[in-house]
Amino acid sequence: MDLARNSIGLGQRPALILVDMINGFTDPSCPLGAECESVVEHNKLLLNAFRQAKLPIIYTTVVYNTSSQAKVFRAKINALNLLTPDSHWVKVDDRLKPLANEVLIEKRWASAFFATDLAQQLIALGADSLVVTGLTTSGCVRATVVDGLQHDYPVIVAKEAVGDRNQAAHEANLYDMHAKYADVMPCAQIVQNIQQRN
Secondary structure (DSSP) of the chain? -PPP-------SSEEEEEE--BHHHH-TTSTT----HHHHHHHHHHHHHHHHTT--EEEEEE---STTTTHHHHHH-GGGGG--TT-GGGSBPGGGPPPTTSEEEEESSSSSSTTSSHHHHHHHHT--EEEEEEE-IIIIIHHHHHHHHHTT--EEEEEEEEE-SSHHHHHHHHHHHHHHT-EEE-HHHHHHHHHHT-
The domain spans of the chain are 14-196
Quickly state the pLDDT bin for 197 (edges 50, 70, 90).
Answer: confident
Quickly state the pLDDT bin for 198 (edges 50, 70, 90).
Answer: low
User: 61 pairs with which residues across the strands?
Assistant: 106
What integer is the mean pLDDT of 121-137? 98
| 140 tagged catalytic | yes
6-36 tens-digit pLDDT: 888 899 999 999 999 999 999 999 999 999 9
Tell me what percent of the residues of the chain surpass a pLDDT of 70: 99
**133 phi and psi angles, rounded to 5 deg:** -130, 175
pTM of the full structure: 0.97
What integer is the mean pLDDT of 81-96? 98
Q: Among 30, 36, 140, 187, which one carries the catalytic annotation? A: 140
Whole-angstrom CA distances from 96 to 39, 45, 122, 142 are 11, 10, 20, 21
Greatest CA separation for the chain: 48
pLDDT at 1: 78
Pick the CATH number of 14-196 from 3.40.640.10, 3.30.420.40, 3.90.1150.10, 3.40.50.850: 3.40.50.850
What integer is the mean pLDDT of 96-102? 96
36-68 tens-digit pLDDT: 999 999 999 999 999 999 999 999 999 999 999
24: left (phi over 0), alpha (psi -120 to 50) or beta: alpha
Task: State the burial class of residue 197 (Cβ atoms within 10 Å of its Cβ: 0-12, 13-18, 19+).
Answer: exposed
